[in-house]
Amino acid sequence: MAMTFKDLQDEIKRRATRNQSGGEYTDATKNVTNTSLFRVGRTAKWRQLRREATFETVTSYSTGSGGGTFTEDSKNVTIVGATLLTDNIQPGRLIKLQGDSYANTIATITGETTLTLTKAYSGDTVAGTGTYTILPQEEYNLPPQVTHRCFLWHEEYGYPFKLGFITDQTFLNSVANRDYSSTVEAYRMWGMDMVQEQVKAATLLSVSSTSAADVNIPITVFGTVAGYPDFEIINTNGTNGTTAVPSTKSFSQIERVSKGSTSIGRIVVTGNSGNTTVATLPVGDMTDGILYAKVRLYPLPSSVFPMNVWYYKDPWSLVNDNDVHELGQEFDEAIILLATSKIIFENNKDEGDKFFNMYENEIHNLRKTNVDKIDFFPTLSRGMRSNSNGGYPHRFLSPAQVGPHFGRRVC
């Protein structure tokens, strides 16, 4: 069984000749233990950190018992009978309106039946009879703590189909139609933050805990207020942490959320009258929220189906004394050696180097039995007249871009 967080701290202090009888170095040792855990986790594709997850695609939306009202040169849209907040329609989705030649983009959701556009409606005014379609959702959150070492696949063709990865630059240079919907074949990744959902319109936020004992815990929200970067510190309720406390500022976008002290329960931040879960802060003294990578699908999904994600994750922080890290007991020594080398290096470079060399030897041995053989990353093909990429090194690269060793062979 792997050593607990407390066991790791004690052993690091012992090897670094720190005084274990006092608490002078406790916080520093906790920090260096976690940073060493993260470093070890990023060193290789460890089998212990490989995970599988799924999320469901979201397709077109056109709910409404009556017609829509679209006004020429206006960004405001009303759709009788729609339930935009209840159905969690996200800003950023493309929308097609009767009379407008091109798909527009939703800027905000201001109510169950009302929204605003990023650019003004260009068609003739339609009062209460217009038709509309919100196109399938493009962007999704990947599982918490996922790294860029991942791939996506589905079985919509009746067999496993692995999505191709394309960069944003390649996608934009291709002049692809963003509003095209079909079976998804590719994905892009851009950005990572701790926001589960962005607010749908400028809104007061609400902060509460899942534990009544979490009283007067300062929660700091960073974001945009009235068009400018701003922040607010919102303290949980002073007598019962489960009682929601509102912000005094109205945020139109959220960048980051953090807490100022240890919590017993999970801290939840919501907006738009509770219809949007902005962020969730874990229990313990982990001050920041969970990181989510964002993925964009192409074409837009024309049906609802599960998207499979296979990935490597970053380890969770160790928080409580009895916490055990995810890598397993084989990795205890590597974490201890790396943490010890960091501490000793502050005072003695030669001694620090000795521990770091022992750490590298330990990692070398771990690689022999714990590293996955990666089979899902793109590879370049050697020159040949016929291969799966039509004789070229990669389906998105020409020989001129990768050099003569991978070009087409001429016989």
Whole-angstrom distance, CA of residue 31 vs CA of residue 69? 56
Q: Which residue has the tokens 């050593």?
A: 3
* pLDDT the model gives residue 192: 80
> pLDDT tens digits for 72-127?
999 999 999 999 999 999 999 999 999 998 899 999 999 999 999 999 999 999 99
* pLDDT the model gives residue 28: 86
Whole-angstrom distance, CA of residue 340 vs CA of residue 334? 10
Whole-angstrom distance, CA of residue 198 vs CA of residue 85? 13
Whole-angstrom distance, CA of residue 207 vs CA of residue 269? 5
Kind plus residue range of the DSSP H or E element containing 402: helix 399-402
Backbone angles phi, psi at 278, to 5 degrees: -75, -45
* pLDDT the model gives residue 308: 97
* pLDDT the model gives residue 147: 78
Those residues with Cβ within 8 angstroms of residue 113's Cβ, 6 or more apart along the chain or in another chain: 64, 78, 79, 80, 81, 82, 83, 84
Query: Which regions in the chain score pLDDT beneath 50?
Result: 376-377, 410-411
> pLDDT tens digits for 307-341?
999 999 989 888 888 999 999 999 999 999 999 99
Structure-token pair, residue 384:
């040949």
* pLDDT the model gives residue 311: 92
* pLDDT the model gives residue 135: 97
Count of alpha carbons within 13 Å of 139, Cβ hemisphere only? 17
The pTM for the full model equals 0.80
Contact between 39 and 359 (Cβ < 8 Å): no
The bridge status of strand 94-97 relative to strand 146-154 is unpaired
The bridge status of strand 139-141 relative to strand 104-109 is unpaired
Kind plus residue range of the DSSP H or E element containing 116: strand 114-117
- 112 to each of 9, 82, 96, how far by Cα in Å? 52, 6, 18
